[in-house]
Amino acid sequence: MVNHFVADFKRKHKKDLATHPYALRRLRTACERAKRILSSSSQASIEIDSLFDGIDLFTNITRARFEELCRFVP
């Protein structure tokens, strides 16, 4: 899930979170929280103020999308 949002952020903002450990850690923590929410709900929100260079991350993920992302994990 983290890789999905890193790629999405890079596509939208032309900034690579993978090279910034603090931003990556904040995203990983938010994804872990979303994963726990998805275990009992059909949708979770990820909201991180000023994730990188003052850019906020506000997004949603559904359980179906999460399961689809997990299918590709070896």
Domain boundaries, the chain: 2-71
DSSP label of 73? -
Taking only the tens place, the pLDDT of each residue in 22-36 is: 999 999 999 999 999
pTM of the model: 0.89
SS3 60: strand
**Nearest Cα to Cα of residue 65 among 40, 35, 30:** 35
Q: What is the mean pLDDT of residues 54-64?
A: 96
* Fold exhibited by the domain 2-71: Actin; Chain A, domain 4 (3.90.640)
